[in-house]
Amino acid sequence: MKAIITITQFGIDMLVPIFLCSMAGRWLDGKLGTSWIFILMFFVGSAAGAGNVYRLARKLMNESDTVRNRDLAAGISGENREADFSGDDPDIDFPEEDRDADFSDEDKAEEDEE
């Protein structure tokens, strides 16, 4: 769901400035009797939309880097996130009763099925 929201946000951030600037250019062309302001305002809106998308992408990348850095600081690698939580690390010696203590009966049943 978050991916759909993000894609929608990219589209809105790009299209709204183009639409508003184009309409303003069209209105100015009608008032001033010109025909070039619409084109100019279209490109201004495109540049503004591209700037919006760039800022949103940087924000998302920074959030992603923050999460990755936090996980790395906690000793969790991105590729092996499930393995890191599974308790199957051969370097760590977990007593059997401690490893299963935090699981509910449903979790134990799902674990047994695997």
What is the pLDDT averaged over residues 16-36?
96
CB 42 within 8 A of CB 21: yes
Q: What is the pTM of this model?
A: 0.58
pLDDT confidence of residue 95: 56
The b/e string for 82-114 (b: 16+ C-beta within 10 A; e otherwise) is eebeeeeeeeeeeeeeeeeeeeeeeeeeeeeee
In this predicted model, which residue has the larger pLDDT, 13 or 104? 13
Q: Dihedral of CA 88/80/91/100: which sign?
A: negative
Taking phi over 0 as left and psi of -120 to 50 as alpha, with beta for the rest, 33 belongs to left
pLDDT confidence of residue 39: 96
With 70 as the cut, is the pLDDT of residue 15 above it? yes
pLDDT confidence of residue 105: 56
Q: State pLDDT tens for residues 51-108.
A: 999 999 999 888 888 877 777 777 766 555 555 455 555 555 555 555 555 555 555 5
Taking phi over 0 as left and psi of -120 to 50 as alpha, with beta for the rest, 102 belongs to alpha
